[in-house]
Chains A and B, each alone.
Chain A
């Protein structure tokens, strides 16, 4: 499944947030959206599955304009994990089961429950299965949300800062899991991230936002320290350690 964005623009009332956004993502790829706070990363992600409706431009999923799709049709193709995760007195199992809702017509059946159980095991969440969400830590909630998005079995995963509440071990576990699932099932993932090192390590492509537009885009290996410097306004070097790119801030903050 291919997602194609053409000339997308979005305004919050009088404030223009995004303009001239053009890019496409392909199966088996992780695309990461980078940029400083408030640049519009989350806004762009929300425009991709119609949580926000762009004033201009189109988002095409497998050659179908999402404006012409119902919310349910979109949910069968694109799953979304937001930054804000609301908790309620519902168990992790039932919260993950909600990922099957776009596919359930009348009643939850055994195959839905089995899928939830499988993803719980894959993410090592068995110990949280019957724990209520309002008793969980931020990291546990984040893992449950990712599990819910995975059980939705869509071709495109949208993840808004999926590792922001996770410790190092869980960050690596989740990102490697997403990477494996993306490759194994030939789906696409689009993530917003603040951790440049994790982003460069696990992503295939990067989109760097600055001043409402895509300032730089391309394969991870093509991202230069100059682009990162221009986007974040910080002097950096990109060095390679055991083949992995690492962004090293070298001080002397310059004006953006």
Chain B
């Protein structure tokens, strides 16, 4: 069968160009917001000084310290974490064919919170460091981090194992995730009930997602993991598109949908687990970013996924800037603002409706 006599219509080329322009614009805005993020904080730094410091062309030791030790790792962590959470959310929503799928609805975030609480309570990783101002500290951060990561990944493995037993259906995955989420939530509450003041404070502190918590070492670990996982997602956009048309159609198009779903779930869970283990629980980005982009750009994963990754990074970065500035000199955890900023935009888009 040969259908080689067609031509590429200008209309279709224009349509594709519009999507690429959207992605490019979102990327340019992200770069600008990253620069703004480095400028703003309890100490305001001018745009020119920021550029000079980034180019290692400044004499100000103060700016150098603030930018290279605080603002830059914080900004980059916000970008990578936002991108990772949004990418994982978009892929989960696609392969599970469920618009509510996110690390929260699938119990992965709850499992991480339980892992941290378990570490604080059972492994004793929280201590009171100063009796004068009652500040506490998670004495062995790596233990808490590993505990949160292990519990998140164990949950993801359990979800995929149960789903595999029952034919890898999206419904089984979502229901198993919801059930496991409830178990971990109850487990966390149980531990909190028996915790002393210091332990309870440590548990609650950990659940506040905060990108400022990450140093350069943390950033590079998150960066490498997230970049690898996002590249894997981007290489699979054609498969996710086929699966959007239903599993049978996908199989007819040469996509082993069960295997793609299982690996996508494991990769998304891994991305989420890495992020929330290092910086705590940050909700809503994974759920809302794909929806915002989908309303503008449609369901085509070739464009939806890269655009969602950029918009997710943008949402978390803007939320972090607001959290940093709103109650100066106090700095609030970013997780409070992801929902405050994301939810109204989301509700607006729902009320406005799509162009259907």
Contact = CB atoms under 8 A, between A and B. Distances in A.
B3 interface: yes
B252 to A, nearest CB: 3
A119 B3 CA distance: 7
Interface string B253-267: 111100000000000
A181 interface: yes
A115 B248 contact: no
A46 interface: yes
Interface in A78-94: 78-82, 84-86, 88-91, 93-94
A90 B7 CA distance: 20
Nearest to B301: A90
B298 A89 contact: yes
B300 interface: yes
B251 A51 contact: yes
Interface in B1-16: 1-9, 11-12, 15
B238 A104 contact: yes
A187 B1 contact: yes
A11 interface: no
Interface of A: 46, 49-51, 70-76, 78-82, 84-86, 88-91, 93-95, 98-99, 101-102, 104, 110-111, 113-122, 129-130, 132, 134-135, 145, 149-154, 158, 181, 185, 187
B241 interface: yes
Contacts of A134: 356
B245 A101 contact: no
A1 B15 CA distance: 38
A50 B252 CA distance: 9
Contacts of A135: 356
B11 A84 contact: no
A117 B9 contact: yes
Contacts of A75: 251-254
A145 B3 CA distance: 17
A101 B244 contact: no
A119 B294 CA distance: 28
B242 interface: yes
B1 A71 contact: no
Contacts of A85: 245-246, 249
Contact residues of B: prevailing secondary structure: loop
Q: Shortest 5 CB-CB distances between A and B: which pairs? A: A75-B254, A117-B6, A80-B252, A118-B6, A118-B3
Contacts of A102: 253-254
Nearest to A158: B252
Contact of A80 (B3, B238, B244, B249): B249
Contacts of B9: 117, 129
Contacts of B11: 129-130
Given A98-B241, A113-B6, A113-B8, 12 more contacts: A70-B254, A70-B256, A82-B248, A82-B249, A86-B245, A89-B298, A93-B12, A101-B253, A114-B4, A114-B7, A117-B8, A134-B356
Nearest to A187: B1
Given A82-B249, A86-B249, A115 B4 contact: yes
Contacts of A71: 251, 254-256
B133 interface: no
A70 B4 CA distance: 27
A115 B6 CA distance: 6
Contacts of A99: 253
A90 B299 contact: yes
Interface of B: 1-9, 11-12, 15, 238, 241-242, 244-246, 248-249, 251-256, 294, 298-300, 354, 356
B244 A90 contact: yes
Contacts of B248: 46, 51, 80, 82, 84
A98 B242 CA distance: 7
Contacts of B7: 114, 117
Contacts of B15: 91, 130
* Most chain B C-beta atoms within 10 Å of own C-beta, residue among A70, A86, A185: A86
Nearest to A126: B9
Contact of A101 (B8, B246, B254, B298): B254
A114 B244 contact: no
Contact of A152 (B238, B253, B294, B354): B253
Nearest to A93: B12
Contacts of B2: 153, 185
A88 B15 CA distance: 17
A110 B9 CA distance: 11
Contacts of B256: 70-71
A91 B245 CA distance: 12
A197 B298 CA distance: 41
A98 to B, nearest CB: 6
A79 B245 contact: no
B122 to A, nearest CB: 43
B113 to A, nearest CB: 33
Most buried by A among B3, B9, B256: B3
21 contacts: A51-B251, A71-B251, A71-B256, A73-B254, A75-B251, A75-B252, A82-B252, A84-B246, A84-B248, A86-B244, A89-B299, A94-B300, A98-B245, A111-B4, A113-B6, A114-B5, A114-B7, A115-B3, A118-B4, A118-B6, A154-B1
